Chains A and B, each alone.
Chain A
Amino acid sequence: MGEKTIIIKGDAGFQMLFNCSTVGILVIDAVGSINLLNPCAETLFGYNNVELSGQPIELLIPENLRSNYFQSSENYVGRHIDNPNSPGNEIYARKKNGEYFPVDISLSHYEMEGEWLAFVFVNDITDQVKTRRFVTEREVWLRNMVDNLPVMVWVTDPERRCTYLNNTWLAFTGNKLDQELGNGWTDSVCPDDLDYCLSVFNSAYERMQSFTMEFRMRHHDGEYRWIKGTGRPTYSSDNVFTGYIGSCTDVHQHKSMTDVLEKLVTIRTNELSVALQNEKEMNDLKTRFVSMASHEFRTPLSIVLSSTLLIEQYAGKWGDEKVARHISKIKSSVSNLTDVLSDFLSLDKLGQNKVELEPAKFNLKELMNQIIEDVQPLRKKGQQIIFDYDGAESIFMDNKKLRYIIANLISNALKYSEENTQVILHSIVRNGTCFFKIQDQGVGIPEEDHIYMFTEFFRAKNASSFQGTGLGLTIVKRYVDLIGGSISFTSKLGEGTCFNVQLPYQEAL
């Protein structure tokens, strides 16, 4: 023992190396007894030379692992050499205070004067083990995460071979990983889509571009389902191309739904165009009918009217009042019917947007007086029209449409009022706007009917006993809109109705 110490001491350089080494060094003999340890080993194990000298090496090995780890110092070493980097199989050493710590051990031995001796180099690898564990844990965590992502994940190498597929992928195809790796995955692609799939994949590879595609892939139940796949090139930290990573999502339901919807849209569009065509044909028919009716009704009406006028002429000579009364009825009926025909025609033209404004210069006050003159025959006994006019007289506007609007509103006012009532026609014409107020003391319009008053063919509930088609106000409203004005009314049942019309005009010089 002492001799060996002297031998080492004999070499001053070696002694220094031994003392200053940051590796723990133990010298043991053939039976595993410790002969010597350097300062670093003393620090590592917490023993000093005196305490350990002659002690068996097992003292430095955890108690519960002694029998498992080795029977002798040679096994201790041999085991380590067999598994130099096996993670999780770290070799542990025991400190004096009973603590364990992972170590890295290497050994060299020699024989001296027939005695077998060994140098055991011991490194504390606590830090490395910690790091390694951390890395391993992270990797497991990451792999778990990728494996359990709700999308299928794939990875390929620079040679376009598949190197990784996550569990979601395998769960979809029902295949084992080794069936799918390399080019195996192409077996799951629907044969009809394979060429397309590969061409997208290959051309993306050639240009190192990202790609997205839709193709069908065989589900483990045998059904081909629509998959939306994306991929993008990957690069290492030093910017070397490492292949592609991508994901695939089952979009079958979505895609099927889209297909169904598209088909539905096509069907509906067709139905709609048929309906539109029918509508157009119906409209054409209506227009032809209205036009024909208007013409064909006017011819017999012409005869009725002219014959009546002739009867009037002859009868007038004989002076029969009863005949005159009936002639007057025929004349006003013909006139009503002619007006209705005109309304039909006007509405049809309005519906086809064929009505245009025809502005002309005229005297508005004169026009109003004319209208009042024209509606005189409609006045009931004791009915009065009170007319006032304030403002510009010579204006530029569509006088025919204006005449229709005002005449219609005054006719209505008279028609829906009793005998001995007043109709007030109030007009203010200035600053580019003519304002008309037509107020009656008539039957009024039921509240619930107000919103329908401008709807074609609509008649208020209390209007059924009055003759009318329900077209007049509709045409009035359309004309007002055409001129760019506005119309509104207030009405109280049994008290009367008041229409307000505002129309823009240009002053005529």
Chain B
Amino acid sequence: MKTVLVIEDNPDIRENTAEMLELENFNVVTAEDGLQGLELALAHLPDVILCDIMMPKLNGYEVLKQLKENEATVNIPFIFASASVEKKEIKHAMQLGADAYIRKPFDLTELMELVNKFIDR
């Protein structure tokens, strides 16, 4: 079973996203802020990471930067999920080495297409 790490500070979105992924037969690990996300990424080495941008403690950009600096996590596909539609944010995210960007609210098909794209099942 493939593992997805969901890093999201909003508990409802976090739970719902996790639930949707679980229904699609993924193993889901959740983190409620960037710092916890980093720890869990290192501990679980998930197959894909879905991460919010604006979060307390450590924001999404910082999480991505640190994961890319680490040999163990550098190759894990990283997807940003944000409510922001600012072009410059998307650009910034992609420049930092994100693999994709999904805009909230997203529907199930959109999410699954994206996640599956990065997971060899």
Please report A residues at the B interface, Cβ cutoff 8 Å.
291, 294-296, 298-299, 301-307, 309-310, 313, 331, 334, 338, 342, 345
Contacts and interface: CB of A to CB of B under 8 A. Distances in A.
A338 B16 contact: no
Contacts of A313: 20, 23, 108
Interface of B: 10, 12-13, 16-17, 19-20, 23, 83-86, 103-108
Residue from the set A291, A301, A306, A309 with the largest chain B CB neighbour count within 10 Å? A306
A306 B20 contact: yes
Contacts of B17: 306
Given A310-B20, A334-B105, A302 B84 contact: no
Nearest to B52: A299
Given A302-B105, A305-B106, A306-B105, 10 more contacts: A294-B85, A298-B83, A299-B10, A303-B16, A306-B19, A307-B12, A307-B16, A309-B20, A310-B23, A313-B23
B107 A342 contact: no
Contact of A310 (B19, B83, B104, B105): B19
A306 B6 CA distance: 14
Nearest to B104: A302
A302 B12 CA distance: 9
Contacts of B84: 294-295
Nearest to B23: A313
Contacts of A303: 10, 12-13, 16
Contact of B16 (A294, A306, A331): A306
Given A298-B104, A298-B105, A299-B104, A306 B13 contact: yes
A331 B23 contact: no
Contacts of B13: 299, 302-303, 306
A299 B55 CA distance: 13
Contacts of A306: 13, 16-17, 19-20, 105
A302 B105 CA distance: 4
A331 B108 CA distance: 11
Nearest to B84: A295
A303 B104 CA distance: 9
A309 to B, nearest CB: 5
A114 to B, nearest CB: 137
Contacts of B86: 291
A313 B17 CA distance: 13
A298 B82 CA distance: 9
Which of A291, A298, A301 neighbours the largest number of chain B CB atoms within 10 Å of its CB?
A298
A436 B34 CA distance: 48
A350 B28 CA distance: 40
A248 B78 CA distance: 85
Given A302-B105, A304-B105, A342 B10 contact: no
A29 B37 CA distance: 151
14 contacts: A294-B83, A301-B104, A302-B10, A302-B16, A302-B83, A302-B105, A303-B10, A303-B12, A305-B105, A310-B16, A310-B20, A310-B23, A334-B105, A345-B85
A295 B86 CA distance: 10
Nearest to A310: B19
A303 B108 CA distance: 12
Contact of A338 (B10, B20, B23, B105): B105
Ordered nearest first, which 3 A-B pairs have the shortest CB separation? A306-B16, A298-B83, A302-B105
A280 to B, nearest CB: 21
Contacts of A296: 83
A307 B10 CA distance: 14
Nearest to A301: B105
A342 B20 CA distance: 25
A305 B102 CA distance: 14
A231 B50 CA distance: 87
B79 to A, nearest CB: 15
A419 B1 CA distance: 47
Given A299-B10, A303-B12, A303-B16, A309 B108 contact: yes
A298 B81 CA distance: 11
A295 B10 CA distance: 13
Nearest to B11: A303
Contacts of B106: 302, 305
A295 B83 contact: yes
Contacts of A295: 83-84
Contacts of A301: 104-105
B12, B83, B107: residue with the most chain A Cβ atoms closer than 10 Å: B83
A241 B103 CA distance: 90
A28 to B, nearest CB: 125
Nearest to B54: A295
A302 B10 CA distance: 10
B92 to A, nearest CB: 16
Contacts of A294: 83-85
A296 B19 CA distance: 22
B22 to A, nearest CB: 10
Nearest to B83: A298
A304 B104 CA distance: 11
Nearest to B108: A309
A363 B107 CA distance: 26
Contact of B107 (A291, A305, A345): A305
Nearest to A296: B83
Q: Which of A301, A302, A310 has most chain B Cβ within 10 Å? A: A302
Contacts of A298: 83, 103-105
A304 to B, nearest CB: 7
A302 B20 CA distance: 13
A309 B106 CA distance: 10
A338 B102 CA distance: 14
**Most chain B CB within a 10 A radius of its CB, from A294, A303, A304:** A303
